[in-house]
Amino acid sequence: MTAFEMPTAKTQSAAPVKPVDMAAIARAAAILEAGGLVAMPTETVYGLAADADQEAAVTATYRAKGRPLNHPLIVHVASADDIPWWAEITPEAQKLADRYWPGPLTMVLKKKPRCGSWVTGGQDTVALRCPSHPWAHALLAAYGGPKHRGLTAPSANSFGRISPSTAQHVREDLGEKPAGKLDLILDGGPCEFGIESTMINLSGSRPEILRHGVITRAMLEEVLDCPVPDAGADAPRASGRLKSHYAPKTRAELLPAARLPERAAELASEGIVLAVMGPQMLRALLPANAELAAFVEAPDDVLSYGASLYEALHELDHAFEGNDCTRGRILIAAPADTPEWAAVNDRLKRATA
């Protein structure tokens, strides 16, 4: 099996991964065995892990997040060898696993009887992923064992809110017991890619994209040697497809960069405090009467932008902590509307919906 390879994003989110603490991994495995909840880092975002075979444990993740019970989860596994234990493997799935696992790719396949409805939201399909982050990989390797156990791991945040790309984001939102909701938070450092995995549906008559990520349409089509369109309304329900998702508490707007200074002037005249994300040159174009709570410079390359996106949204939202959020507004300059920016634009549109 060939591991996924991609140029590293040039951002603080691409900081060297912390050395894996095997004692912490062993503690996490014991907690999972007992039906507990563990936040684990992946190369995309931090996930809220539970033993996929234990209905009570998986249901607890729904409660911790405030997630609807019919919203299916992804089962994370140690390797492609685990696929037949959870799903009906297809030639397309084998090709993609050979190229992009471990890595930020999730495949939706027809489920095996082992996979409970508490994982699939009552559907006959299951989403599978093999993450490449050393901490996640170590935990899955230690926990999977001869039973090929898997971990459900939705993003470790309150449902619909900004996804966590650092352990601190998890602590601020869900937290550890006794004050918080989780039994353990594994801190493996910032996530490398910072946005959720690409998700492809392989359970129907043709491959189709359910969620965009750093594995692009062109990369999928190169491996499968066929068109891979976006999924239609008849596709399986999947994570991250709701119109409003990844949202800050403060109201946010996505605007063309050229329109942003004008919109800032309109809001400033209403006494609205602003937090802005966009190219550095925009800062000089903001109106003089605008009260600026924060300005985050947007990277100009897609990998760096994606890796820093959720960190930036957290920073912009934090700018209004302790104040009346109704007087605040986050303005985001839209990146280029090109295929390579599809994943970033998808997250921004849902965050501002």
> If 0-12 CB within 10 Å is exposed, 13-18 middle and 19+ buried, where does residue 112 land?
middle
For the beta carbon of residue 186, count every other beta carbon within 10 angstroms. Answer: 23
Indicate the annotated binding residues for ATP: 67, 125, 155, 163, 211, 246
Cα 123 to Cα 69, 91, 156, 346, distances in angstroms: 12, 22, 23, 25
Cα 209 to Cα 95, 105, 206, distances in angstroms: 16, 11, 10
Tokens standing for residue 65: 């997040």
* Dist CA 199 CA 74 (whole Å): 10
The pairing of beta strand 105-110 with beta strand 125-129: antiparallel
User: The tokens 């690409």 sit on which residue?
Assistant: 198
Indicate the annotated binding residues for L-threonine: 44, 76, 129, 153, 197
Indicate the annotated binding residues: 44, 67, 76, 125, 129, 153, 155, 163, 197, 211, 246
